């Protein structure tokens, strides 16, 4: 069974803190890694899709890196705000698997004032 | 608003019954995906269609089936429903077959009593 692991499971930070999460995935037959942001009572929202080793992507205060050789990705949030409170999911796709995303269980972030 | 629509929003039905969930992808997207989120599990991939053809299959039960129509909307049929089928069912769409961001609909909450 091929799984993706995310850590930590949950995180409480203060407004203005910078934080990061880890996503570990199988490095064999890797095709793509997705990050999603999922707020309570809403649907998952795409943040990044990364495919190349060494990829770095940025959207506002959020950025992500990818290491396909060792099978991990980091998501960084700079200067956390209360509106960043959400569950952050990563998911991987293997070659030959169509676009089948295998999701982790996510990191739940709570940003407090 | 992702541009993906799902109906109905909520569905309550009895064990043994059959239901149909409907999804309309974003304009121009050719791929449609179905996911299940149960209380005790993360997002589980069920099936992907691309331009009317099945492209990838996850752990979809034999009691479940799906199709994508010429107008690209998709339906997920769930039959002989069991209590354990109670879950949130998401539909997502993307432009292509692989490595594109997936845009999630608001989900259908199915309750089997």
Q: Do B42 and A106 touch (CB under 8 A)?
A: yes
Has residue B54 got a pLDDT over 80?
yes
Has residue B48 got a pLDDT over 60?
yes
The pLDDT of residue A23 is 97
Read out DSSP for B27-92? TT--EEEEEEE-TTS-EEEEEEEETTEEEEE-S--TTEEEEE-TTS-EEEEE-S--GGG-EEEEEE
Q: Are β-strands A107-112 and A86-94 bridged in parallel, bridged antiparallel, or unpaired?
A: antiparallel
Q: Which one of B99, B105, B109 would you mutate to disrupt binding with A, by most A Cβ within 10 Å of its Cβ?
A: B99
Tokens read off for B25? 């992808």
Q: Three-class SS of residue A27?
A: coil
pLDDT tens by residue, A19-60 = 999 999 988 888 899 999 999 889 999 999 999 999 999 999
Q: Do A99 and B31 touch (CB under 8 A)?
A: yes
List the beta bridge partners of residue A23: A6, A73
């Amino acid at each position: 069974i091929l799984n993706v692991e995310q850590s930590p499971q949950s995180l409480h930070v203060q407004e203005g803190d910078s934080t990061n999460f880890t996503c570990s995935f199988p490095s064999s037959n890797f095709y793509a890694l997705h990050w999603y942001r999922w707020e309570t009572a809403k649907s998952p929202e795409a943040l990044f899709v990364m495919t190349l080793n060494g990829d770095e992507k940025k959207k506002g205060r959020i950025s992500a890196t990818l290491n396909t050789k060792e099978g991990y990705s980091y998501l960084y949030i700079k200067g956390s705000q209360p509106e960043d409170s959400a569950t952050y999911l990563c998911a991987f796709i293997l070659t030959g698997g169509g676009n089948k995303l295998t999701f982790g269980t996510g990191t739940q972030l709570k940003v407090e004032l | 608003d992702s541009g993906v629509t799902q109906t109905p929003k909520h569905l309550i039905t009895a064990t043994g019954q059959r239901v149909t969930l409907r999804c309309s992808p974003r304009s121009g997207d050719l791929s449609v995906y179905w996911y299940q989120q149960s209380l005790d599990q993360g997002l589980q991939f069920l099936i992907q269609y691309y331009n009317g053809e099945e492209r990838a299959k996850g752990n979809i039960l034999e009691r479940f089936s799906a199709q994508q129509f010429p107008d690209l909307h998709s339906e997920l049929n769930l039959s002989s429903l069991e209590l354990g089928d109670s879950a949130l069912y998401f539909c997502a769409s993307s432009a292509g077959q692989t490595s594109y961001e997936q845009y999630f609909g608001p989900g259908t909450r199915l309750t089997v009593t």
